[in-house]
């Protein structure tokens, strides 16, 4: 059994660690609230864009859009994966889960380009030999529309130029504060059936005229829609990371409390044993003198 001094030093160390985990939990909780507000404020605009795209497709049968090009004539397709992870650890299984989901989805490393958002994912895929685009090692902290727009423009340009045939987005969907699920979404080419299935039940059944043409309006809206999807995924992943970190730090703080309780009991036992031993030595010494 460790002596009282060793136990006391260990208790002190755990208490210091507990202060850190408790502070990280409070910081994550404050950031989580702001991230949720940020997501809620931007959703209405992008939802309106999505509904307008669906309306054009429903009422314009002859719209020929390059964003729906599946390039069936190609036998081997170049694929890009946009993977959103965290910049830091100490978030439970948040980073490992999204990385495993991406690795399961990537079939061929040779025909795959990886664009990472978040340093944890960037470092992992670079070490693992994937074709990581180094100049686009974006941080995942404090997401902004400008950052999503910059990434979206790169993705769209590569697709339209024919350098990339398919684009997939790997991110973490936050169902609730305790349930986080990594998901894979295809960004390009768009699926016309999915676009037409958008619920327009709350939309007025007026007839809209799109100037100069539905195709021209569509070509303006689709990049905004894709950038909105990307921005929403970045914000949702960041929110998921904060929620995972808050849960992990709460669990670490609770475990620290339990360890302190056990060590306190061990410390009291060790101290009592030391006192008992001293008394026994004093009694034994007195007996020898007599």
Q: Is the backbone of residue 162 left (phi > 0), alpha (psi -120 to 50) or beta?
A: left
User: Same structural domain for residues 73 and 189?
Assistant: yes
Measured in whole angstroms, how far is the alpha carbon of residue 264 from the centre of its chain?
38
Helix locations, the chain, DSSP H: 4-59, 94-105, 119-127, 145-160, 192-196, 214-289
Residue 169 confidence (pLDDT) above 70: yes
Whether residue 165 lies inside any domain: the answer is yes
> What's the pTM?
0.80
Q: How many domains does the chain have?
A: 2
Please state, in angstroms and rounded to a whole number, the distance separating the CA atoms of residues 57 and 210: 12
Q: How many Cα atoms occupy the beta-carbon half-sphere of 243 within 13 Å?
A: 19
The CATH number covering residue 158 comes to 3.40.1380.10
Please state, in angstroms and rounded to a whole number, the distance separating the CA atoms of residues 106 and 108: 6
Q: Which residue has the higher pLDDT, 91 or 62?
A: 91
Residue 286 confidence (pLDDT) above 80: no
Q: What integer pLDDT is reported at residue 99 of this predicted model?
A: 92
Neighbours of 70 (CB within 10 A): 14
Sign, CA torsion 24/27/32/38: negative
Q: What percent of the chain has pLDDT over 70?
A: 84
The mean pLDDT value for 174-199 works out to: 76
Q: Which residue has the higher pLDDT, 213 or 183?
A: 183
Whether residue 288 lies inside any domain: the answer is no
The mean pLDDT value for 113-124 works out to: 90
User: Same structural domain for residues 159 and 262?
Assistant: no
User: Same structural domain for residues 205 and 120?
Assistant: yes
Q: What integer pLDDT is reported at residue 40 of this predicted model?
A: 76
Q: What integer pLDDT is reported at residue 171 of this predicted model?
A: 92
Range of the structural domain that residue 165 is part of: 25-245
Q: Which residue has the higher pLDDT, 287 or 234?
A: 234
Q: What integer pLDDT is reported at residue 82 of this predicted model?
A: 92
User: Same structural domain for residues 104 and 141?
Assistant: yes
Whether residue 286 lies inside any domain: the answer is no
Q: What integer pLDDT is reported at residue 205 of this predicted model?
A: 46
Residue 41 φ/ψ, nearest 5 degrees: -75, -25
User: Same structural domain for residues 72 and 123?
Assistant: yes
The mean pLDDT value for 2-19 works out to: 84
Q: Which residue has the higher pLDDT, 202 or 188?
A: 188
For residue range 196-244, list pLDDT tens digits in order: 555 545 454 455 666 777 677 777 778 888 888 888 888 888 888 888 8
pLDDT band, very low/low/confident/very high, at 191 (cuts 50, 70, 90)? confident
Q: Is the backbone of residue 142 left (phi > 0), alpha (psi -120 to 50) or beta?
A: left
Altogether, the residues listed in the chain come to a count of 290
Residue 106 confidence (pLDDT) above 80: yes
User: Same structural domain for residues 166 and 267?
Assistant: no
User: Same structural domain for residues 160 and 253?
Assistant: no
Whether residue 173 lies inside any domain: the answer is yes
Sign, CA torsion 212/149/101/75: positive
Sign, CA torsion 143/145/150/156: positive
Answer yes or no: are the C-beta atoms of 145 and 80 closer than 8 Å. Answer: no
The CATH number covering residue 259 comes to 1.10.287.80
Answer yes or no: are the C-beta atoms of 95 and 86 closer than 8 Å. Answer: yes
């Amino acid at each position: 059994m460790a002596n009282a001094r060793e136990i006391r030093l260990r208790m002190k160390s755990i208490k210091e660690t507990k202060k850190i985990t408790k502070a990280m939990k409070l910081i994550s909780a404050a950031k989580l609230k702001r991230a949720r507000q940020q997501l809620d404020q931007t959703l209405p605009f992008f939802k309106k864009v999505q509904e307008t795209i669906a309306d054009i497709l429903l009422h314009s049968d002859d719209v020929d859009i390059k964003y729906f090009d599946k390039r069936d004539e190609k036998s081997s397709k170049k694929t890009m994966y946009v993977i959103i992870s965290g910049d830091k650890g100490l978030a439970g299984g948040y980073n490992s889960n999204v990385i495993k989901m991406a690795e399961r989805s990537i079939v061929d490393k040779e025909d795959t380009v990886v664009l990472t958002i978040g340093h944890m994912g960037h470092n992992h895929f670079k070490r693992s030999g994937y074709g990581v685009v180094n100049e686009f090692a974006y941080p995942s902290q404090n997401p902004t529309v400008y950052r999503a727009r910059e990434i979206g423009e790169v993705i769209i340009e590569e697709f339209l130029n024919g350098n990339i045939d398919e684009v997939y987005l790997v991110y973490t969907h936050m169902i609730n504060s305790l349930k986080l699920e990594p998901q894979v979404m295809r960004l390009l080419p768009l699926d016309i059936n999915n676009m037409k299935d958008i619920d327009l039940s709350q939309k007025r059944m007026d007839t809209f005229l799109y100037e100069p043409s539905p195709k021209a309006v569509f070509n303006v809206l689709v990049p905004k829609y894709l950038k909105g999807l990307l921005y929403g995924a970045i914000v949702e992943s960041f929110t998921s990371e904060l929620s995972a970190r808050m849960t992990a730090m709460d669990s670490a703080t609770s475990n620290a409390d339990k360890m302190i309780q056990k060590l306190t009991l061990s410390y009291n036992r060790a101290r009592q044993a030391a006192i008992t031993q001293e008394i026994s030595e004093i009694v034994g010494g007195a007996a020898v003198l007599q």
